[in-house]
Structure 1
């Protein structure tokens, strides 16, 4: 499985996604600082404390990498079906289930790791700069950071499961745009924030969506050995 994943990553040059993820991190961090600096100039605190700030960062990160996951699904799976190149891949002496499972494993691992690493990276930079320039009228404490860690991991797991839902829509007509648009819809519904509240705060919703994503992934490979391409 690991060798198969390595071959798939090399085949699709997925190193470019790592570079894109790094760029996305700086864009998210820049956006957060822009909000804070504008608020400081206008003397209107948009983010009142670090707990809210860390929650907003986590929300941005999850949203970005759910879309990233959809582009990976589109490239690794939907695109192959659309261009019929999957037929050639299925001719190799490798079980279809194993091949698709390897592709999905790449998406799952990339999404989860990217969300965790990005959260840590952006949060670290954000806290260092905001405390130095006193951008938030609040004191950063170890307690606030420690309280955020379990939430970050749980949200990363839920977001990783959710990121598989676009696979269902993309496989309907082997549509790459539909795959990506469905991920944007998921982000808009779950991560949209109104009055410091989002649907992601209702724990049942992200867990349910994550389970749906896992079920979709399972169904996509369950009968693949007998399905005509």
Structure 2
């Protein structure tokens, strides 16, 4: 299984994936700082550092789920559409193992990306806040350990969530798109 994942890594250039995640984490911090400076002086958009890190984590997870969906589309759905997956299926390896390796590869990449993006964004926020003091709150070891555990837990959950676009990507019909659209309307 690990050999199959190494082959996937060699087969696809993923520099765009990691650079997109890095740019996204920088944008998350820039937007968060901008929101704090643009708000009126008597209004505080983020009450404390814990709330700010929750916002950073949520935005990082959403960004990485979108990147994971793009990865699913490139690695699995696109191969089905262009019929190149059948070349893989001609190898003397079971189809379940091949698809399992692809899905595990995507889940591991998404986990690493969410973890690093979240850690980088939270670290930059805490570091900048120690100099600029735009969000009230103190940082101690207990706080950092709690945040690290939270980042780890949410990274595992997000890695699983990033595989959901596979279900919608494998469907070709318009009714499937219509059924998947109403939940997004309720988010308004």
TM bin, normalised by shorter chain, reads: 0.7 to 0.9
Is there any run of 5+ residues in structure 1 with no aligned partner, and where? 193-229
4+ long deviations beyond 3 Å: none
- What SS does the aligned partner of 1:172 have? coil
Query: Matched residue pairs, number?
Result: 182
Higher relative contact order (Cα pairs below 8 Å, separated by 6+ residues)? 2
Partner residue in 1 for 2:105: 106
Partner residue in 1 for 2:67: 68
Output the CA distance in 1 between the equivalents of 2:165 and 2:106: 12
| Cα contact 2:111–2:156 (8 A) shared by 1 | yes
Q: Is 1:21–2:21 an aligned residue pair?
A: yes
**Higher mean C-alpha deviation, range 74-83 or range 165-174:** 165-174
Output the CA distance in 2 between the equivalents of 1:106 and 1:27: 26
Output the CA distance in 2 between the equivalents of 1:65 and 1:49: 25
Output the CA distance in 2 between the equivalents of 1:160 and 1:7: 20
- Superposed, which structure 2 residues align to 1:177-192 within 5 Å? 185=184
Partner residue in 1 for 2:168: 169
Output the CA distance in 1 between the equivalents of 2:34 and 2:93: 50
Q: Is 1:125–2:114 an aligned residue pair?
A: no
Is there any run of 5+ residues in structure 2 with no aligned partner, and where? none
**Higher mean C-alpha deviation, range 131-140 or range 141-150:** 141-150
- Superposed, which structure 2 residues align to 1:33-48 within 5 Å? 33-39=33-39, 42-48=41-47
Q: Is 1:144–2:182 an aligned residue pair?
A: no
Output the CA distance in 2 between the equivalents of 1:169 and 1:22: 27
Output the CA distance in 1 between the equivalents of 2:18 and 2:66: 14
Shift of 1:75: 0.6
Output the CA distance in 2 between the equivalents of 1:138 and 1:52: 10
Q: How big is the alpha-carbon RMSD for the aligned residues of Structure 1 and Structure 2? A: 2.4
Shift of 1:150: 2.3
| Cα contact 1:36–1:135 (8 A) shared by 2 | yes
| Cα contact 1:82–1:174 (8 A) shared by 2 | no
